[in-house]
Amino acid sequence: MIAIDGVHVAFDGTEILHGVDLTVAAGSWVTIIGPNGAGKSTLLRAVGGLLPFAGSITLAGTPLARLRRRERARLVATVPQTPVVPPGMSVLDYVLLGRTPFIPTLGRESARDLAAVFGVLERLDLHGFAGRALDTLSGGERQRAFLARALAQEATILLLDEPTSALDIGHQQEVLDLVDELRRDHGLTVLATMHDLSIAGEYAERLVLLAGGRVAAAGPPREVLTEQLLADHYHARVRVIDTPDGPLIAPIRAAH
Ligand SMILES: Nc1ncnc2c1ncn2[C@@H]1O[C@H](COP(=O)(O)OP(=O)(O)OP(=O)(O)O)[C@@H](O)[C@H]1O
């Protein structure tokens, strides 16, 4: 569904991604992990068509550059790390923006659009917030509204840039379980970035460890979440505990 081939991205002449290859099969979940500044968001933004790049990215077999805006919006929904929050806009109007690719130019939203929006608000515990201004929500409520907008888009591919960084543990599970349910039941393809390595390993079928703009390791969570790789690339002291649900990553405090 997503094929990334030899992708390079540079900002002001400084190369950030140095030839990244990555494929995501239809209906699968791949999470990109890696230290701060590794290039995770940059890669996601390139896949979302938000950045110029060299190399090739195809979505459902079509090169990104050949997809028109509306076509791309029906194919890919993105939850950026820090979305723009339009001042004073209600949660309902914000989530309705996700339906833009379905609303004719100068037309109004249909009953189907409203049903999609209210369905998602309900699923994300946001039904009580529809009339509230988005900029008055707590960090976690707002993060769920960002996800709601992307899910209301009902795209085939979901790009999630640290979608649960502001959520409490219960809402983290609720949000990720919902995404996984959509993946299983509706064939959604998910490409995410995450810093919580245990949770990343629990939900993704494959992890890609990005370091210094290159893929340092890729494979099933047990192959990527090793003490050696995490020490090498994060310079972190961790213990990896194998559990039936996958590897659990425990940070170990320095001796004192
Ligand atoms: N618009 C930009 N102009 C210049 N440099 C940029 C720009 N966007 C990103 N960078 C740089 O590119 C590098 C990769 O950034 P990116 O946001 O992709 O990292 P990341 O892996 O997502 O990091 P984090 O875990 O901190 O979110 C960083 O060094 C960042 O400062």
For the chain of 256 residues, list the mean pLDDT of each consecutive stretch of 10: 98 97 97 98 96 96 92 92 88 93 80 91 92 92 92 95 90 91 93 96 97 98 96 94 93 86
Q: Are 67 and 59 in contact (CB under 8 A)?
A: yes
For tokens 């996984």, name the residue. 180
Answer yes or no: is 72 within a domain: yes
Does any domain span residue 151? yes
Residue 256 is assigned to a structural domain of this protein:
no
* pLDDT score recorded for residue 97: 92
From CA 142, how far away is CA 29, in angstroms rounded?
A: 24
Q: 80: CA distance to ligand 1 center in Å? A: 13
Q: What pLDDT does residue 208 have?
A: 98
SS3 (DSSP) at 39: coil
SS3 of 73-123: the string is HHHEEEECCCCCCCCCCEHHHHHHHHHHHHCCCCCCCCHHHHHHHHHHHHH
Q: Which of 212, 230, 231 is nearest to 222 (CA)?
A: 230
Residue 76 lies in a domain: yes
161's enclosing H/E stretch is strand 157-161
pLDDT, residue 103, reads 79
Q: Is residue 81 part of a domain?
A: yes
Residue 33 has, within 13 A of its CA and on its CB side, a CA count of 26
Q: Which of 103, 80, 9, 87 is nearest to 51 (CA)?
A: 9
Instruction: Give the per-residue pLDDT at 47.
Output: 97
Distance 189 CA to ligand 1 centre (A): 24
Specify the 3-state DSSP secondary structure of 48: coil
Q: How many CA atoms lie within 13 A of 97 on its CB side?
A: 20
Q: Which residues line ligand 1 (CB under 6 A)?
A: 11-12, 16, 34, 36-42
Inside any domain, residue 103: yes
Identify the residue whose C-alpha is closest to ligand 1 atom 7: 11
Q: Can you give the pLDDT at residue 101?
A: 80
For residue 84, the one-letter residue type is V
Ligand 1, atom nearest to 34 Cα: 21
DSSP symbol at 254: P
Largest CA distance in the chain: 65
Q: How far is the CA of 170 from the centre of ligand 1 (A)?
A: 29
| 6 C-alpha to ligand 1 centroid (Å) | 19
The CATH number that applies at residue 19 is: 3.40.50.300
| Residue whose CA lies nearest to ligand 1 atom number 18 | 39
Domain with 179, as residue range(s), is 2-251
Q: Is residue 186 part of a domain?
A: yes
pLDDT at 139: 87
Give the residue whose CA is nearest to atom 17 of ligand 1: 41
Q: Across-strand partners of 22?
A: 4
Provide the number of structural domains found in the chain. Answer: 1
